[in-house]
Amino acid sequence: MRRTLLMVSALLLAACSKSEPSALRSCPELDAGTPIDPILLAFLSRARAAHHLADDADDQGGEDQLKASAAPLEALVSGPLPRTGSGELAPEVREVLADTFARLADLHSRQGAFERALQDVQRGLDHAREPNYFRGHLLETEGLVEERHAKALEKSGDQAGANAVRKRAIEILERAMEVQSGVIERAPQTPPHASSGGVPTPSPGPSTH
């Protein structure tokens, strides 16, 4: 899911943009900057590398490659996390974790590990408590996980179970739409000629097929 890699890259650029001019260049993507928080940059760089590895494995296809794709992402979420002076996780860290758990949920559900995928979603939601894009995307992913689960139940002959899970999927996807509608409605009005600032627009989530 290269959308997540683009999101991590955007967060890395955003963190670099907060830096002060210096002869020490820690962000080669930008013209100037010693970052205010090099530890945060290290985490974002580690996250980007993890998603690169996940992409490479996922592109090869196959059940074993799905497991290989999840491995670097699991190492990322269980690894060291930078914290602020108060001991809290920085907002950028929470956003990366939320998006990474959404990707793990997708990968695990594609392997048929639906319960584990739902646990990934819940862990991601713990990092996206506010009604923002990341929370909406996690709910969208949860709905897609349940859609896959419903198809698996239907294939096994459990039509009643499939119907119940599909109903839940619809309810969750409707909640995802509500969250993202709120995000759009709360956004400041941007003039049509305004530049996007180079931040990539997230692409749609994973297919259910």
Q: Which helix (H) or strand (E) element contains residue 92?
A: helix 91-110
Percent of the chain with pLDDT over 90: 64
* Of residues 155, 151, 100, the one with CA closest to residue 126: 100
- 19 sits in the region (left: phi over 0; alpha: psi -120 to 50; else beta) called beta
Q: Is 57 helix (H, G, I), strand (E, B) or coil?
A: helix
On the question of pLDDT at 21 being above 70, the answer is no
Q: What is the mean pLDDT of residues 178-193?
A: 85
Q: 8 vs 183, which has greater pLDDT?
A: 183
Q: Is 179 helix (H, G, I), strand (E, B) or coil?
A: helix
What value does the mean pLDDT of the chain take? 82
Is the CB of residue 168 less than 8 Å from the CB of residue 198?
no
Task: Quickly state the pLDDT bin for 46 (edges 50, 70, 90).
Answer: very high
Q: Which one-letter DSSP state was computed for residue 165?
A: H
Of 1.20.1250.20, 1.10.760.10, 1.25.40.10, 1.10.1060.10, the CATH number of 2-80+90-186 is 1.25.40.10
On the question of pLDDT at 32 being above 60, the answer is no
Task: Quickly state the pLDDT bin for 29 (edges 50, 70, 90).
Answer: very low
Q: Is 118 helix (H, G, I), strand (E, B) or coil?
A: helix
